[in-house]
Amino acid sequence: MDDLISRAAVVDAIEGVDWYHINKNGEMVHGANDAEHQAWYKADDIYAAIERVPSAQQWISCKERLPKDYESVNVTVRIPEGRYVKESAFLNGVWIGVSAPAEVVAWCPLPEPWKGDTP
């Protein structure tokens, strides 16, 4: 499964499950056995695993850090009229293709290329 999903949405979905009335097949039950209770106690492990998964589109403030030279990234550009996103690269202290009054305020790595329907 390569779908991009929100970690917060996953946590909300997990928290919305009535763990005490669903068995391992996802079927509603009126009671639970010890094995099922042990599985439910793993919820904390699930939350921790979700937090370790890197976000597909995690923006990094330019005040926090900058990408490596020559690395192509997506950038959020602030202009007097608002903000927009474009691809750029940082080289020797300059964002390629961005000029004043525009200012790059955040960046994130480019996503992996789509691999579907290609031989």
pLDDT at 54: 57
| 45 or 80, greater pLDDT | 80
pTM: predicted TM-score of the whole model, two decimal places: 0.52
Q: Side chain identity at 13, as an amino acid letter?
A: A
pLDDT for 25-55, tens place per residue?
Answer: 666 555 555 555 555 556 667 767 666 665 5
Strand order in the sheet with 60-61: 60-61, 103-109, 72-79, 82-91, 94-95
